[in-house]
Amino acid sequence: MESGSVMKFEVVEAEDTVGALRQFIIDGSYSPGDRLPSERDLIGRLGISRSALRKALGKLENEGSIWRHVGKGTFVAAQEFQTGNSQLKLLSETVTPVQLMRARLSLEPALAKEAAVNASENSVANLKEARDRAVNAATWDEYEAEDDAFHRAIAEASENVLLLSLFDHLNGVRRAVAWNTVVRTSSRPPADHSSFNEHNQILTAIQERNASAAQSAMREHLNSVSTRLFGEE
């Protein structure tokens, strides 16, 4: 497919981003196996924010319409593999938020440990960027997208494609589960939001190649999140 044949889109509202991205793929005549443009390119073509794009990509990935390969990009999935939506729907209807947090506690500390052992300089740089974007987020929605990016960057830094796949599957369920207990009392995270310091501790441990500290820092972070959400560890 000729890259010049891809259409550009006008600015769209956040709620229309998924539809705009789907239409972009259709109008660009992308076929299964074709690689989509970079996130930076898509942001410019669709006229949307990074956080809105990442949410849309996450939605399409959960549906099985696209798949992502670390270091290579985002690809259109073959039709026979586009069954993720029904599986996700089933899980999201049966998994409780507490069960989900326990699953995260089983997987993500191990990912942080692996990241401390295997992270490249580029991976650490990506972690720093995601951390900084989360701190500077103007809204809770933007913060959550960047927090998601930070945790996925840790999974990528593990340099283990199977662990990354497990993370993506778990993260897809996390996005779909109804978090009815979350109540926001401000328009954006406060400057002293506890996750900021917790992210710093995780990042520092990974930078220092301290696997046990990274594992412990992630476990403490998720326990802190669990306490804020459910009042228990």
Reference 130, options 97, 101, 102, 152; nearest CA is: 152
Out of 60, 81, 102, pick the residue that ends a domain: 81
Same domain, yes or no: 28 and 103: no
pLDDT of residue 75: 80
Residues 60 and 109 in one domain: no
Same domain, 73 and 149: no
Residues with Cβ within 8 Å of residue 67, at least 6 apart in sequence = 61, 74, 75, 77, 81
Do residue 106 and residue 44 come from a single domain? no
Q: Are 36 and 143 within one domain?
A: no
CATH number for the domain spanning 169: value is: 1.20.120.530
Are 155 and 189 contained in the same domain?
Answer: yes
Same domain, 17 and 123: no
Give the pLDDT band of residue 82 (cuts 50, 70, 90): very low
User: pLDDT tens across 113-139, in order?
Assistant: 999 999 999 999 999 999 999 999 998
> Smallest Cα–Cα separation from 176: which of 119, 95, 68, 57?
95
Which residues form the domain of 184? 86-230
Residues 205 and 98 in one domain: yes
Cα separation, 17 vs 53, in Å, equals: 7
Q: With a threshold of 0.75, does the pTM exceed it? A: no
Tokens of 43: 């942001």
